[in-house]
Amino acid sequence: MVATRCNWQGLQDFCYQVFMKAGLPEPSAAIVAESLVEADLRGVDSHGVVRTAIYLKRIEAGMIDPHSQIEKVSESDANVLVDGNNNFGSVIGRRALEIAMEKAKNNGAAFVGVKGSNHFGTGAYYALKAIEQDMILLVMSNASQTMPPTGGVRPFIGTNPLAVGVPSGEELPFILDMATSVVARGKIIVAAQKGEDIPTGWAIDKDGKPTTDANAALEGSVLPVGGPKGYAISMFIDILSGVLTGAGFGKYVHNMYDNWEQPQNVGHLFIAVDINRFIPLELFKARMDQYIRELKQEPKAHGIQEILIPGELEYRRTQERKANGIELPQKVAEELAEIGRRFGIDFSKASF
C-alpha cells in the first residue's frame, strides 16, 4: 500500500485549517491539530491525524460541542472538578492541565478530575507540557468498553491509559504513556484500515477465541497487559477517572465510533506535583540525570546495544519524523485529501 509522506508543520497547519472551517474557535483548532500531529510524530499513529474524520463526524452529528464552556464544578486549595460540557477532549485536557499546574505551584500538588469529556489524545501530550514547566504529571483517562475483565469474554472496561512525565536536566525526561491493554485498540483500527493481520495475543474475537484478524478483533476484545494486573490497573483508572468524577464508567463511557445518540462522557484525572516542594529543582534534575546515566550504563543482555528509558524511542522518532516527514497510509491520506476538498483546503501542500 502506497504511503504519503507529509511535512509535520504542513500537516498540522492543514488540520488546524480543517478544524477552523469545521467551526472550532481558533485556540481550540490549534490545540486539536497539535495534539493529533504530536501523536504521529511520536509514532502513536493510532491517535494521530487518522482521528480527524471521526472527530469531524462527531461534530457534525452534535456529539461534540466545540463551543461549550469548560467550567469548574467544585474547587478547594488543591482539588478541582472540571465539567468539560462535551467540548473536545484535548481542549478540555489542556484546560484541566493548566488548572492542575497552577494549583500545584500554589499548594505543592493538585488533583483535577474531569467529567463530560471526549477522547483526549495521548497522555504524553500533556506530560510534555508539564515537563516544559518543570513539573511532574500523572494523567489518566477511562475509555469505552473494549477489554474484558480477567476471566470474562465480552468488553466491560476500556484500554484506560496512564501517562507519567518527569523532567530531568541534561538527559531526556522520563515519559511513560501506556494503555492498560496489550496494545491500544487504535493500533488494531490502523491494522484493519491497512488490511494487515495483528499479532497473536493482542485480542480475542466475539466468541472469546484468540485471533489475528484485525476486523474480528474489533468485533471482540483487546486483552489486558499482564493479564489480571493490567485488568486491575484499568479498573482503578476507571474508578478514579469515572466513578470519582461523575463521568461515565464501564458501559456508561460511550463509544465514539458506534454511539451516535449520546456524548462519550469520558473522565480524566490530572495529578501535578511541584518538585520544589520536596527538593530544589536543580538538585532534582541532577539526581535524575545521575539515575538515568547509571541505569543506561548497566550490563546489557546478549544482542542488546543500548538500554533505553521510557519515552526515548518516541523522542528519537519525533526527531526523525520532523526531519524526514510523517508517512501516512494511503487510505488515511485519501481520507484527509477528501476532507480538504470538502473544506476547500489543499492537502497536497502538506506533503513532500
Query: Which residues are catalytically annotated?
Result: 119
Burial of 334 (0-12, 13-18, 19+ CB in 10 A): middle
d(CA 320, CA 340): 26
Q: What is the SS3 assignment for 297-336?
A: CCCCCCCCCCCCCCCHHHHHHHHHHHHHCEEEEHHHHHHH
User: Residue holding cell 469505552?
Assistant: 144
Q: In a 10 Å sphere around its CB, with 0-12 CB exposed, 13-18 middle and 19+ buried, how is residue 165 labelled?
A: buried
Question: What is the DSSP track for 212-250?
Answer: --HHHHHHSEE-BTTTHHHHHHHHHHHIIIIITTTS--G
- Rounded CA separation 258/253 (Å): 12
